[in-house]
Amino acid sequence: MNPELVTLLLTAITISCLHTVTGPDHYVPFIALSKSRNWNVYKTIGWTVVCGIGHVGSSIVLGLIGIYFGWQLSKLTGIEEVRGGLAAWALFIFGCLYLLYGIIQAIRNRAHKHFDVTAGGDIYVYKHQHGTAVAPRNRVKVTPWIMFIIFVLGPCEPLIPLLMFPAATHAPMNIVLLIGVFLFFTLVVMVGMVLLGYFGFSLLQKSALEKYMHVIGGASITICGLGMLAFGW
């Protein structure tokens, strides 16, 4: 396994795990639904996996954009070494831009989706800003299928540049491997966090890092690209 692929896989694992653990919306709603509807552990795991696949599936669709641009990038030269260098530069530049976007988003503190669990066990989703006690407006009651739709419409954008590198270097099997690893670790962490809550372990309802997830994703990709360029990872 070449160093570039190892770096990409480690970055994919890091992003998928941090994205899931620091986002309570990836597991708290499933815990609440299972309690309010008296789901057994198998049904709880089942819906978690279904929604997780939908979440990563929409990320893969966006990742096809990265694959497309990767193939276009590969047409710029017929020299393999230069092709890989261009892909590394593209990864680094995209990471820097994404990091800048994350910083701007964190500073602006724009409204994002937020889940609220009532005393009766009902779950609602609505727009929310960090650090503000805003009464929810236009909130929607969450059902399992509504949850699935929410996850499909909320992809993990950092997967796009990660798929662009193996596309540019003409490595379709590496693309499949990256997708598989990203999906596997996302589902494992989601199910693990849900099971912890299902069996009564105390979980944080809010994460201080949730606001900075785009920053973390951008920083991870930037470091990945920089490592390839400067250190030959």
pLDDT for the residue numbered 150: 78
- Over the stretch 114-124, which tens digit does the pLDDT of each residue have? 666 665 556 66
Segments in the chain below pLDDT 70: 1, 70-87, 109-140, 168, 170, 201-211, 213-214, 231-233
pLDDT for the residue numbered 62: 79
- Contact between residue 194 and residue 134 where contact means Cβ atoms under 8 Å apart: no
How far apart (Å, rounded) are the C-alpha atoms in residues 195 and 25?
Answer: 14
Selection from 165, 170, 216, 164 nearest residue 3 by Cα: 165
pLDDT for the residue numbered 81: 46
- Contact between residue 144 and residue 156 where contact means Cβ atoms under 8 Å apart: no
- Over the stretch 22-61, which tens digit does the pLDDT of each residue have? 777 788 788 888 877 888 999 999 999 999 999 888 888 8
- Contact between residue 96 and residue 222 where contact means Cβ atoms under 8 Å apart: yes
